[in-house]
Homo-oligomer: A and B are copies of this chain.
C-alpha cells in the first residue's frame, strides 16, 4: 500500500477492510430502518409490515411494505443479502474478471408510490458487491413526477449535488448524467422521470463513468467520462453513506409541500397511466430486477416496486398547453435541474 498505489490496473491494490461485509450490511439495514421510521412519521397513518425470508442458494432479506397509508398508496423498502457460487450473466458481462469467484451482495432498495398525483414517485437503491478480490459499490436515487413542478426537481437534485460535492466535484455531474441515461425508456424515447443520481462499479480505480446506454439517451446526450485519482474503499463507502442519507432531506420536503394539493379524476387517471411507464422500465430494462430474477431472488420482494394500480391507454397523447404536455416536453428530457432558477 505504498508506491504500488499508483498502479491502478490491479484491484488488489485497494483491498476492502476485513470487516467490509459486516460494515456494509449493517449500514444497509440501518438505512432501511431510518427510511421506514421517517416514512411512517411522514405518512402519519400507514405502518410497514415486514417479511423476513431466506434464499435457498444463500442469503436472505427483510421486505417491508406499507399499503394504503394516508399519503403513500404503496411503499416497499427491501434489505437483502445474497451470496452464491457465481455472479449471474448480467453482471459478468460488465465484470468478466469476476467470473469463477463466489460472490456476496448486500443492498437496500425502495420505491414509493404516493396516492396524490402531485407527489412524485421515488426510487432509491444502494448496493455493494464482492467477488474474489473484486468489490464495488453502486446506487442512486431518482424522482418520477406526474405533474411538473420545477422547484421540486431542483430541490431533489441540489440535495444530492451537495452530498456529492462534499466528496468530489466530479461526482454529481457524472452520476447525474449516468442517471439520465440509465432511466431511459428506449421504446418510448422518454426518460422515466427527472432523474437524480446513478452510479455503478465504483471500485476506487478512477474510472467514474462506466455506462453508457449506447443506443439510447447517450447518443444525443453523451456522458462526460471522468477520470480521477484512485480512491480507497473507505472513501467510497463514506460517499455512499452520505448519498444514502441525502434521500430523506431530498424527498420529504417535496411531500410536505404537495400533500395538500387537490386533484380529481383527470390527475388520478394521468398518474395511473404514467405508472405504466414505471412498469415498462422495471420489467424491460431494470438491471436490479433482472439480477434478482436471474439469481432466483424472492419474486414478491423483487416486484414490490410495481405500482398498486396502473392504466394503459392505446395511443394516448397529452393535449397541447397542459401540465401533462409540459411533463413530456420538459421534464422527461435531461435538464440541468441543479442550476434551475425561477424565471
Contacts and interface: CB of A to CB of B under 8 A. Distances in A.
Interface in A287-330: 293, 299-300, 302-304, 306-315
Q: Indicate how many identical chains form the complex.
A: 2
Contacts of A74: 314
Contacts of A187: 293, 299, 302-303
A276 interface: yes
A313 B76 CA distance: 11
A280 interface: yes
Interface of A: 51, 63, 65, 67, 74, 76, 186-188, 272, 276, 279-280, 283-284, 293, 299-300, 302-304, 306-315
A338 B226 CA distance: 63
A155 B73 CA distance: 41
Contacts of A300: 314-315
Nearest to A310: B310
A222 B293 CA distance: 23
Given A276-B306, A283-B284, 9 more contacts: A74-B314, A187-B293, A187-B302, A187-B303, A280-B283, A280-B303, A307-B312, A309-B309, A310-B311
A304 B304 CA distance: 24
B312 A308 contact: yes
Contacts of A309: 272, 309-311
A303 B318 CA distance: 18
Contacts of A280: 283, 303
A306 B315 contact: no
Contact of A314 (B186, B272, B304): B304
Nearest to A279: B279
Nearest to A312: B306
B65 A314 contact: yes
Contact of A311 (B65, B284, B303, B308): B308
Nearest to A303: B312
Contacts of A188: 299
Contacts of A312: 303, 306-308, 310
Nearest to A188: B299
A214 B303 CA distance: 23
Contacts of A308: 311-313
Contacts of A279: 279, 283, 310
A310 B303 CA distance: 14
A22 B70 CA distance: 59
A314 B272 CA distance: 18
Nearest to A281: B283
Nearest to A76: B314
Contacts of A67: 314
Nearest to A296: B187
